[in-house]
Chains A and B, each alone.
Chain A
């Protein structure tokens, strides 16, 4: 299933900046960065549970926020893109 992960991490303190970097790093491991704090992750339920758990461990619930949007299996017709930096389709043809 496709899950959209977005986050807002408070970076006023050095610890906040550290958390931001850790969250981003974790997300890169699971999905594709489509915008600065927006990731598209094509994951199976088990892997997603792990991702969710890891991310919740990193953030500070008083200051940061984390949102998951479940786009499911037919995510392709739920996503529209305009402008630069179009991502790849992880289920389509991958040629580099």
Chain B
């Protein structure tokens, strides 16, 4: 398996990225602050409004390093795409499948099955580890509901029905996630999931983590030669990376939701790391962002055994592995797309 490389996060406002030889250089007011050889990197994520030289963009594109620009609050702005590469036959197969309703429904089902199963695992683990302090009955009721929906997926015959099932599950899952917030309950709670903008601390934290995950999934899909913009569950919309969103469904509970819960329960973030704006939206402060990014990067280094490949990989490689499996499935090397089930 490929080695997971590092991601460079640029958080200082007014910094400018340039290239020197094979190095990425971060400059602030024309003074060099940081340099690193490109071959150590997997991606570069810039927060805040700053620039990068075209020369550097070329370096990134030549080395397959994802370069994304985000607003200070973590909202996705743009990503730099190099030449279209990868296998055109693979992409064509992907488009054909996406155009065919039945075929995309089958793939969409895999994503949602993965999602619901992982949601159940997250809730189940919470109930097992903290059974004494949380309302287990509530978790159990929702769990039963998730199972019920899970069984419905098999026989569901339209994309809209599937969307309905997904929406239902997500709604109940998020409000139950509130039970698993054990510490700092006054500052962190989940009454419902809201976004654009997120209206409370927990929602802001989740949104921020999802943006980080989206960057990784999109890069992974591009690495294996798939088009991140053509999805099977999410429909095409200009500027929306639908396939990346599809693939995130199954990875979110494991990679983002659990991490968010840990951050709050271990008190690695606190109310002071969030800022309420005039429009009611909540964003992370610079310190809060650093804490979350730190935890995210650390989490990616942990290793797991991938249940399908039966191979040890670092968690950060999960999006890449799933993208690879998707490519194999589209090529016809395997019979179905195996979603990732956390254990």
CB distance from A23 to the nearest CB of B (A): 13
In chain B, positions 272-301 with a C-beta closer than 8 Å to chain A are 290, 293-294, 297-298, 301
| Contact count band on A | 10 to 19
The interface residues of chain B lying within 8 Å CB-to-CB of A29 are: 21-23, 37
For the complex, give the distance between the alpha carbons of A96 and B33 in Å: 7
Chain A residue nearest to B6 (CB atoms) is: A94
Tell me whether A96 and B9 are in contact in the complex, defined as CB-CB below 8 angstroms, given that A25-B21, A88-B34 are known contacts.
Answer: yes
Chain A residue nearest to B47 (CB atoms) is: A95
Contact of A42 among B23, B40, B294 (CB under 8 A): B40
For the complex, give the distance between the alpha carbons of A88 and B34 in Å: 9
Q: Is A56's beta carbon under 8 Å from chain B?
A: no
Q: Is A72's beta carbon under 8 Å from chain B?
A: no
For the complex, give the distance between the alpha carbons of A25 and B294 in Å: 31
Asked if A30 contacts B37 (CB within 8 A), the reply is: yes
For the complex, give the distance between the alpha carbons of A29 and B25 in Å: 12
Q: Is B39's beta carbon under 8 Å from chain A?
A: yes
Asked if A90 contacts B297 (CB within 8 A), the reply is: no
Q: Is A5's beta carbon under 8 Å from chain B?
A: no
Q: Is B266's beta carbon under 8 Å from chain A?
A: no
Asked if A94 contacts B11 (CB within 8 A), the reply is: no
Asked if B23 contacts A90 (CB within 8 A), the reply is: no
The interface residues of chain A lying within 8 Å CB-to-CB of B294 are: 93, 95
The interface residues of chain B lying within 8 Å CB-to-CB of A43 are: 39
Asked if A94 contacts B9 (CB within 8 A), the reply is: yes
Chain B residue nearest to A89 (CB atoms) is: B6
Tell me whether A96 and B23 are in contact in the complex, defined as CB-CB below 8 angstroms, given that A29-B37, A88-B34 are known contacts.
Answer: no
Asked if A95 contacts B22 (CB within 8 A), the reply is: no
Q: Is B194's beta carbon under 8 Å from chain A?
A: no
For the complex, give the distance between the alpha carbons of A82 and B125 in Å: 44
Q: Is A28's beta carbon under 8 Å from chain B?
A: yes
Chain B residue nearest to A32 (CB atoms) is: B36
Asked if A93 contacts B36 (CB within 8 A), the reply is: no
For the complex, give the distance between the alpha carbons of A90 and B23 in Å: 13
CB distance from B21 to the nearest CB of A (A): 5
For the complex, give the distance between the alpha carbons of A30 and B35 in Å: 11
Q: Is B15's beta carbon under 8 Å from chain A?
A: yes
CB distance from B293 to the nearest CB of A (A): 6
Chain B positions near chain A (C-beta within 8 angstroms): 3, 6-12, 15, 20-23, 26, 33-37, 39-40, 290, 293-294, 297-298, 301
4 further A-B pairs in the complex, CB-CB below 8 A; given A29-B22, A90-B36: A28-B35, A30-B37, A47-B39, A94-B7
Chain A positions near chain B (C-beta within 8 angstroms): 25, 28-32, 41-44, 47, 88, 90-96
- List 17 contacting pairs A-B, 8 Å CB cutoff, sorted by A: A28-B20, A28-B21, A29-B37, A30-B37, A30-B39, A31-B37, A32-B35, A32-B37, A90-B40, A92-B6, A93-B294, A93-B298, A94-B8, A94-B36, A94-B297, A95-B11, A96-B10
